[in-house]
Structure 1
Amino acid sequence: MKHLFFAIGIFSALLLSCSKKEPADLYPADSPKANYDTTGIDSFSNGATSIDVVRQIRMSSKQYQDSVKEAIKLQEQEKKLKEELEKENKKKAEEAQRTEEKNKAKTAEIPAAGDAKTE
């Protein structure tokens, strides 16, 4: 009888332990999900940046800043040149107007003098 109770106990333990259990859902549908990548990147993985690449990025950004400064300087120089050209053009236009006015005044005086001679 002792052996029978012992055998029933072991048999029931085996049935309970070997029964098919449903796995617990690790990612339930109502759990919040991150909207960003949460995987870690170590220094040897595909997405990692090496020290040399970071150095090149920094150098290129410094070079970019220098080129931007040079471009601004060139634009300022071009503006100054355009302003000087505009001033010179204005002076030439004013001088041309003055000479035209003088020529008109001279031509107006000449016929008046010619009319006086014919009379």
Structure 2
Amino acid sequence: MKNVLFTTFIFSLLFTACSKKESINSEAVQDIKPHYDTVAVDSFSNGAVSVDIARQIRMSSKQYKDSVKEVLRVQTEEKRIKQELEKENKKKVEEEKKKAGPDKKEKTEQSQPSNGTKAE
């Protein structure tokens, strides 16, 4: 009986030692695990704010209101400056026309006698 137990033990040891072992693919396990550098935030968690509410908060802030007022002030100032420049340009054009009108008459009078034939 001792021989039977001893031979069974030897055969089981040889069977387990000589059996084909499957290798564990460690690379496949690593590929499955994604590496994130940030933590996902649940939109329903404490401190989460929807996009619309965040926009309303930004728009109601004093800094935003001040910036809107400043932009409107700059735009009205630019419009006023453009209108003044247009008025000045119109005045200059009218003055040039007034000056050019008498000058043209004088030039035409001077050119007519010199173009005429001499009567002898």
TM-score by length of 1: 0.49
TM-score by length of 2: 0.48
